[in-house]
Amino acid sequence: MPDDSRHSAPRRYGIETRTVHAGTTPDPTTGARNMPIYQTTAYVFDDVDHAASLFNLQTFGYIYSRLTNPTVAALEERIANLEGGRGAVAAASGHSAQLLAFFTLMEPGDEFIASRNLYGGSVTQFTHSFRKFGWKAIFVDPREPENFRKALTPKCKAIFVEGLANPGGIVLDLEPIAAIARKAAIPLIVDNTMATPYLCRPFDWGADLVVHSTTKFLSGHGTSMGGCVVESGRFDWGKGGKFPGMTQPDPAYHGLNFAETFGDFAYTMKTRAVGLRDLGPAMAPMNAFFTLTGMETLHLRMERHVANAQRVAEFLENHPAVAWVSYAGLKSSPFYKLARKYLPKGAGSVFTFGVKGGYEAGVKAVEGVELFSHVANIGDTRSLIIHPASTTHRQLTEEQQVKAGAGPDVVRLSIGIETVDDLIADLDQALRAAMPARPAKKKSRQPA
């Protein structure tokens, strides 16, 4: 960030400024203004003592790009800055960021509570792959915060939610959920991919950890895979004795105690020094560079994403081929008030709607668009469309699909930054072509 030492008090820069400047400065050797791509695997040590101090975590610096890389470090600092966090660890994808987030917290036999309204891939990861680590996910309906308290067990180590859920557009009441986690002495982990820190900052509402798929809105252009875990720095790892990996001597680092040694960024250090070291899902420097570049326009893109999404949702709400629309920016949404509280700049740009005619009509509508791209992604500058039941949520049972807001009639949109009238015209022609010969007289209910 620019030097503001000449001021009587440090200036608190706006988020628009920080999306451009946080984490990067001109290169001290060449004067290059953009962050260079440090496409290297290893780094030269000054001497043996310098190398030893780095490996012992006694000195901060670069050892090997699986652990640390200057380009990736700049991205980590920028994301942590925007979220208001103490530190961050970037990873190869959003899924690997989730794995790292839990790997630092969990032991075999441990459990965690998760919202049932999650991206389908997360439900699958939690349900099946995490079992191989001996971890159990307990899914609850997140619309009533008390459900999280009721599901607590002595083995629970975390609560995991999407503040703005994918794909159903459900907005969670983060404040009381955070209070439940705090009373149980376990961290609240919030996936902030859909909202981004421009629309919502979960730490402001009591979250302890934030995860991102940087592949989506932070990168913004559909070019670069990545993920990130951000630490608030406020969680007390010693309270309740639930996290011995943080508070007891680590044999791999000669008895180093992470919580005692690193204090308010102990989780970040443990995730990097153990999680990245042993699991190895490092972010590529090139992907970090493209994500840094994309983030410079995050605020501009999100403004257009949200404005376009609002117009499209209002259009679909009155379309004869549409049974329902689930977008928290609509006054008819049961999540409208929560969106005004947690997402005052807009309810995001990803939402779902139900097509009259069910599964077949949904597939036909998706295949009938011309401007929208039929891809398994969100957060691109381009508008995207998908039928979750046949793609992203295909691995789930129909009951799980419906509970996740991805039933047979559901179509998911990720609204881009194009001319909104063009998007509306494209959806209109595709939906009219997909309408059944005799549209149902009664509207179907929104998914639970």
Query: Is 113 within 8 Å of 221 (Cβ atoms)?
Result: no
Q: What counts of helices (H) and strands (E) characterise the chain?
A: 18, 12
Q: What is the mean pLDDT of residues 347-358?
A: 94
pLDDT of residue 438: 62
Percent pLDDT > 70 in the chain is 96
Which carries the bigger pLDDT value, residue 390 or residue 248?
248
pLDDT tens, residue by residue, 60-119: 999 999 999 999 999 999 999 999 999 999 999 999 999 999 999 999 999 999 999 998
Angle between the 298-317 and 420-434 helix axes, to the nearest 10 degrees?
Answer: 40
pLDDT of residue 403: 74
Query: Is 133 within 8 Å of 108 (Cβ atoms)?
Result: yes
Q: For residue 265, name the pLDDT band (cuts at 50, 70, 90).
A: very high
Query: Is 397 within 8 Å of 439 (Cβ atoms)?
Result: no
Query: Is 229 within 8 Å of 214 (Cβ atoms)?
Result: no
| Topology, domain 298-434 | Aspartate Aminotransferase, domain 1 (3.90.1150)
Kindly report, as residue ranges, where domains of CATH 3.40.640.10 are found in the chain: 15-294
pLDDT of residue 185: 97
Q: What is the mean pLDDT of residues 413-428?
A: 98
pLDDT of residue 448: 52
Q: Quote the mean pLDDT of the chain.
A: 93
Which carries the bigger pLDDT value, residue 62 or residue 443?
62
Say if strands 136-140 and 410-414 run parallel, antiparallel, or are unpaired. unpaired
Find out if CATH 3.40.640.10 is the number for domain 15-294.
yes
Query: Is 33 within 8 Å of 2 (Cβ atoms)?
Result: no
∠ Cα 329 330 333 (to 5°)? 100
Q: Which positions ≥6 away from 375 have C-beta within 8 Å? A: 222, 384, 386
| Reported pTM | 0.92
353 strand-pairing partners: 325, 411
Q: For residue 395, name the pLDDT band (cuts at 50, 70, 90).
A: confident
Q: For residue 264, name the pLDDT band (cuts at 50, 70, 90).
A: very high
- Taking the C-alpha atoms of residue 247 and residue 237, their distance in angstroms, rounded to an integer, is 7
Sign of CA dihedral 395, 384, 143, 195: positive
Kindly report, as residue ranges, where domains of CATH 3.90.1150.10 are found in the chain: 298-434
Residue spans of beta strands (DSSP E) within 52-153? 87-91, 111-115, 136-140
Provide DSSP, 156-196.
EEEEEEESB-TTT--B--HHHHHHHHHHTT--EEEE-TTTH
Q: For residue 447, name the pLDDT band (cuts at 50, 70, 90).
A: low
Could you give the residue ranges of the DSSP H alpha helices within 184-330? 196-199, 244-247, 258-262, 266-270, 277-279, 285-295, 298-317
Provide DSSP, 41-64.
SB---SSHHHHHHHHTTSS-S-SB
Q: Which of 130-134, 160-164, 317-321, 404-408 has the lowest mean pLDDT?
A: 404-408
Q: What is the mean pLDDT of residues 158-178?
A: 93
Closest C-alpha to 329, from 8, 320, 344: 344
- For residue 8, pLDDT beyond 70: no
pLDDT of residue 120: 83
Would you state the structure tokens that stand for residue 392, as one six-digit string?
A: 């992203």
pLDDT tens, residue by residue, 29-57: 899 999 999 999 999 999 999 999 999 99
Q: What is the mean pLDDT of residues 7-13?
A: 75
- For residue 437, pLDDT beyond 90: no
User: Residue 300 in 3-state DSSP?
Assistant: helix
Query: Is 139 within 8 Å of 404 (Cβ atoms)?
Result: no
pLDDT of residue 435: 85
Q: For residue 160, name the pLDDT band (cuts at 50, 70, 90).
A: very high
Q: Which positions ≥6 away from 43 have C-beta within 8 Å? A: 61, 62, 63, 64
On the CB side of 212, how many CA atoms lie within 13 Å of its CA? Answer: 33
